Amino acid sequence: MNPHLPAASDERIAIEGRPGRAAIRRLAGTDVSSAIYGTLLVTVLVAAQARKDADVFLVGVVIAVGVFVFWLTDVWAGIVGLGVRGPLSRAQVVEVAREESPMLLAAVPPMLALAIAPLGLATVEQALDLALLVAVVQMFLWGLAVGLAIGRGWGIALLVGVVDLGLGLIIAGLKLLVLH
C-alpha cells in the first residue's frame, strides 16, 4: 500500500455513508493521485513532441514507454518504502502495483486520440492537438473525482478540478510559447 495514503478501509469509512457515490467508492483503496500524475506526464510528453512533422506512432511509443517507466518507478519506490519497515509479501507487492495502475490507464485516452491520424480521420497536427486537449480535460476530470472523494461537496471538487486543469493549461501554454 502507498505509505502516503490512508488505508483503503479508512477511505471507505470517510465516504461510505454518502449516497450516490458508487464511482468514488470504487476509487477507494486506489491511489488516484497516480492517475493525475500519469495524465500530467502524458500532457508533457504530448506537448513536448507536438509539431507538424511528428510521427504519431513514435509519440505513442514515447508515451507508452514513458508512462510505464514512471509507473514502474513509483511501484519500486512503494516497494522500497514498505521494505524498509520489514519483509514484504508477494500480495503487498501486487497491491502496490495495483494502487499505482491508474497512472497506466491515464495514457489510454490521449493515445486513442493520436490514433485518429493513422486512420486518416485527422492530420498529425490535429491528432496531437486532440491528444493534448484530451489530456488536459482528463486533468480536470481526475481532479474533480479526487475532489468528490474528499467528501466536502462540489465546491472543493471543482476547486481541485480547476487547479489540475490549470496545471494542464500551463503545459499546453508552454507548448504554444516554445513551439509556435
Q: What is the pLDDT of residues 64-99, one digit of tens each?
A: 999 999 999 999 999 999 888 888 899 999 999 998
Residues 131, 111 contacting (CB under 8 angstroms): yes
Residue 108 belongs to a domain? yes
Residue 155 belongs to a domain? yes
Residue 151 belongs to a domain? yes
3-state secondary structure of 178: helix
Mean pLDDT of 101-130: 93
CA angle, 167 as apex, 162 and 171 as ends, to 5°? 140
Residue 4 belongs to a domain? no
Position with higher pLDDT, 69 vs 30: 69
Q: What's the pLDDT at 65?
A: 95
Average pLDDT of the chain, as a whole number: 81
Q: What gap in Å lies between CA 176 and CA 145, rounded to an integer?
A: 28
Extract the C-alpha cell encoding 167.
Answer: 496545471
Q: What's the pLDDT at 173?
A: 81
Q: Count structural domains, the chain.
A: 1
Residue 19 belongs to a domain? no
Extract the C-alpha cell encoding 13.
Answer: 469509512
pTM strictly above 0.85: no
CA angle, 106 as apex, 1 and 138 as ends, to 5°? 120
Count the neighbouring beta carbons within 10 Å of the beta carbon of residue 75.
Answer: 20
- Backbone phi, then psi, for 102, in 5-degree steps? -60, -25
Residue 24 belongs to a domain? no
Residue 136 belongs to a domain? yes
Of all residues in the chain, the percent with pLDDT exceeding 70 is: 81
Question: What band does 14 get if pLDDT is binned at 50, 70 and 90?
Answer: very low
What range defines the domain where residue 109 resides?
31-175
Residue 77 belongs to a domain? yes
Short-list 161, 158, 169, 155, CA closest to 141: 161
Q: What's the pLDDT at 23?
A: 42
